[in-house]
Chains A and B, each alone.
Chain A
Amino acid sequence: MIWIDTIVQGVLLGGLYALFAAGLSLVFGIMRLVNLAHGDLIVMGAYLILVVVSVLGLNPFVAALVAAPVMFSIGWVLQKAVLNRTLGDDILPPLLVTFGLSVVIQNSLLEGFSADSQRISMGPLETASVAVGPVTMGLLPLLTFGSAIAVIVGLNQIFYRTAIGRAFRATSDDPVTASLMGIRPDRVFATAMGLALVVATIAALYLGTRSNFDPYVGPARLIYAFEAVIIGGLGSLWGTLAGGIIIGVAQTVGAAINPEWQILAGHVAFLIVLLVRPRGLFPRAVD
């Protein structure tokens, strides 16, 4: 019985990892940009929510609504002013620029907020739980998982049902031809990064309420997110959710055997999938 509980907790944790990964997957899918600063941008989002909560005294959910447009603007400007210049055939510039960005964000947060760990308080919601049969599930992890599904459904709706989604797909396929049809790829990319940071804000809300965070936790989140994306297969959002769940379950099962094995078990699961299915579980097309 304890094992069912462990696995359910792992699946719910996987929802959080899928949220970390969705923004990454989106950006890679549209502009083949691998953003090594994604984890640090999520942490930055968590600090932004924290500031809004403590300064304006808002509920964290409302604070995330306030933070989302700010994060969208940051993403838009970042893409337009900096990251668009790095796109091209050479893989070095985007990697090294986003790696530099990661170091800059981490240390700016350290300067601004010190190395003390912080937490966004949710009040009684933090400990609330529901019992489903033999398993007790925390309300917050359930909410996280629900949000992950909502984000993936929402993103798919945007991709396939809206004009901007069509522009995303067209630019992803062929930026030059898309620009002949009146699409401006640089603006499409900027919008995509803005959208990715809105997803990052949702991830940040749950990162900040679920556990403590400090300026240095970004890279570890980035690794989980990447593992989820690669396990799922590049470009498939539902695959990313499956990847997140695999990492989450591996971590909780590992932790149940020996608390020190939690993180290690997640990484080992990733390496095993890589060994068996190098292109992930649900690969889309050749990239």
Chain B
Amino acid sequence: MAATHTLTTRTRAGTITGIAALAFLAVAVILPAFASRSLIQDLFFILTMLTLAQFWNLLAGYSGLVSVGQQAFVGFGAYMLFAATILWGVNPVAAILLSGVFALLLAIPTAFFAFRLSGAYFAIGTWVVAEVVRLTVAQWQAVGGGTGTSLPRDARDAMWGVTWIEAAFDVRSSAARDILAYWLALALAAATIGGIYWFLRTRRGLALAALRDNVEAAKSVGVDAARMKWIVFLVAAFGTGIAGGLIFLQNGRISPDSAFAVTQWTAFVIFIVVIGGIGTIEGPIIGVLVFFMLQELLADFGATYLIVLGCLGIVIMLFARRGLWGLISDRTGVQLFPVRRRLIAPARGPAGQTDEGGGHND
């Protein structure tokens, strides 16, 4: 009898989300055929910020690793893309992968130092490492030192697929490069969300959720907390590095101050996750949309925009700790990306009813 019980994470909302996501992806892929260039650029911004937010959420929301130093990986990834392109003649599109690899390599010594600090001091430790990397890169004259450099024209023209896009969509090469960057960002965001969703549904993902809910209890049932921390930190660095490479490939220009900007690559990302709802996949998606709308609305007010964003983040952290998605989810019980395992009893079992398994897991 017991053998007929099954564990599942499927829900109806999850299935609907899956179908909607595929439809949305299909529309997003063909969008450059009719969308304006500015819309494509806005979407590129949203997609890359969403990717950064998902990885920060994986760190802070699931693993308790509150890093304030993710700009180290954005900046280092981006700089290695420029170095690979300018110094070693790698095609910029291929160099995006190198961004991720080098960010991953940087993450190993970073983790070695930062993991010696616990809790809040971990945050400062990562920040110090980011500063060290920024100051060191600023000494690297081959990629422009403290003033930075631009992507050379011939490297930009050599980007794979640009000539094809030019012909297919009948656009100039600058617009074609934006479309290419947009597609890459779309692929990156989709792979990130899909990958994290898949990961959270595996055994390791369950271990991660257990650690998030109660570290001691998770350890007591055999979860290797230190190992999970390493895995998550390295994966997040890899993804953040790739996003950094892509962002500055589209930008075409890099400088230490822009590539290692704590406001842009960490503060904004933190606010996106906190406002949307930390510890959920849905949260960063909602957060990035709110963030973009606020930016459009308050773009003319300069510093006021950041003050509003900061206050909103504080209010949400104080009064609705699980963010906007937490509020929606609590009211409706909907989970678009269900990662919670439920025990399904057989139809004619003794209880005859569906049994909820496991603890609180959202």
Complex CA–CA separation, A267 to B303 (angstroms): 30
Q: Is A93 an interface residue (CB 8 A)?
A: yes
B138, B271, B309, B318: the one contacting A93 at CB < 8 Å is B318
Q: Is A230 an interface residue (CB 8 A)?
A: yes
Known: A91-B119, A107-B303, A274-B125. A268 touches B132 (CB 8 A): yes
A95 touches B135 (CB 8 A): no
Residues of A within 8 A of B159 (CB): none
Q: Is B120 an interface residue (CB 8 A)?
A: yes
Residues of A within 8 A of B318 (CB): 82, 85-86, 93, 97
B314 touches A223 (CB 8 A): no
A96 touches B317 (CB 8 A): yes
Residues of A within 8 A of B68 (CB): 36, 99
Q: Give B135-151 as 1s and 0s: 1 = Cβ < 8 Å from A's Cβ atoms.
A: 11011000000000000
A223 touches B131 (CB 8 A): yes
Q: Is A219 an interface residue (CB 8 A)?
A: yes
Complex CA–CA separation, A226 to B124 (angstroms): 7
Q: Is B198 an interface residue (CB 8 A)?
A: no
Residues of A within 8 A of B278 (CB): 92
Q: Which parts of A246-287 form the interface with B (CB within 8 Å)?
A: 260, 263-264, 267-268, 270-271, 274-275, 278
Q: Is B313 an interface residue (CB 8 A)?
A: yes
B310 touches A107 (CB 8 A): yes
Whole-angstrom distance from the CB of B307 to the nearest CB of chain A? Answer: 5
Complex CA–CA separation, A274 to B109 (angstroms): 13
A223 touches B270 (CB 8 A): no
A263 touches B135 (CB 8 A): yes
Q: Is B274 an interface residue (CB 8 A)?
A: yes
Q: Is B209 an interface residue (CB 8 A)?
A: no
Complex CA–CA separation, A100 to B125 (angstroms): 19
Residues of A within 8 A of B270 (CB): 96, 99
Q: Is A34 an interface residue (CB 8 A)?
A: yes
Q: Is A142 an interface residue (CB 8 A)?
A: no
A264 touches B307 (CB 8 A): no
B66 touches A95 (CB 8 A): yes
Q: Which parts of A19-52 form the interface with B (CB within 8 Å)?
A: 34, 36
Dominant secondary structure at the A interface: helix
Q: Is B354 an interface residue (CB 8 A)?
A: no
Known: A82-B318, A278-B116. A264 touches B310 (CB 8 A): no
Considering the complex, give the chain A residue whose CB is closest to the CB of B123.
A95
Whole-angstrom distance from the CB of B26 to the nearest CB of chain A? Answer: 36
Residues of B within 8 A of A275 (CB): 113, 116
Q: Give A72-111 as 1s and 0s: 1 = Cβ < 8 Å from B's Cβ atoms.
A: 0000000000100110000111111101111110111011
Complex CA–CA separation, A50 to B16 (angstroms): 60
Residues of A within 8 A of B131 (CB): 223, 263, 267
Known: A104-B307, A267-B128. A97 touches B314 (CB 8 A): yes
A96 touches B116 (CB 8 A): no
A96 touches B313 (CB 8 A): yes
Which one of A92, A223, A263, A267 has the greatest number of beta carbons of chain B within 10 Å? A92
Complex CA–CA separation, A268 to B129 (angstroms): 9
A91, A104, A226: the one contacting B311 at CB < 8 Å is A104
Complex CA–CA separation, A104 to B113 (angstroms): 30
Q: Give B98-117 as 1s and 0s: 1 = Cβ < 8 Å from A's Cβ atoms.
A: 00000000000000010011
Residues of B within 8 A of A101 (CB): 310, 314
Q: Is B267 an interface residue (CB 8 A)?
A: yes
Residues of B within 8 A of A85 (CB): 318
B66, B113, B124: the one contacting A91 at CB < 8 Å is B66
Known: A101-B310, A107-B303. A264 touches B135 (CB 8 A): yes
Known: A107-B303, A107-B306. A267 touches B132 (CB 8 A): yes
B271 touches A264 (CB 8 A): no
Q: Is A214 an interface residue (CB 8 A)?
A: no
Which one of B64, B120, B121, B262 has the greatest number of beta carbons of chain A within 10 Å? B120
Known: A223-B124, A274-B117. A92 touches B60 (CB 8 A): yes
A100 touches B60 (CB 8 A): no
Considering the complex, give the chain B residue whose CB is closest to the CB of A278.
B116
Q: Give A219-260 as 1s and 0s: 1 = Cβ < 8 Å from B's Cβ atoms.
A: 100010011001000000000000000000000000000001
A residues apposed to B, CB below 8 Å: 34, 36, 82, 85-86, 91-97, 99-104, 106-108, 110-111, 219, 223, 226-227, 230, 260, 263-264, 267-268, 270-271, 274-275, 278
10 further contact pairs, Cβ within 8 A, besides A34-B123, A103-B307: A34-B121, A82-B314, A82-B318, A97-B313, A103-B263, A103-B310, A104-B306, A111-B302, A226-B121, A271-B129
Cβ-closest 3 pairs across A and B = A34-B120, A104-B310, A107-B303
- Provide a sorted-by-A list of 22 A–B residue pairs whose CB atoms are within 8 angstroms: A36-B123, A86-B317, A92-B60, A92-B64, A93-B318, A95-B66, A95-B123, A96-B270, A97-B313, A99-B267, A99-B313, A103-B307, A104-B311, A107-B303, A223-B124, A260-B138, A267-B128, A268-B132, A271-B113, A271-B129, A271-B132, A274-B125
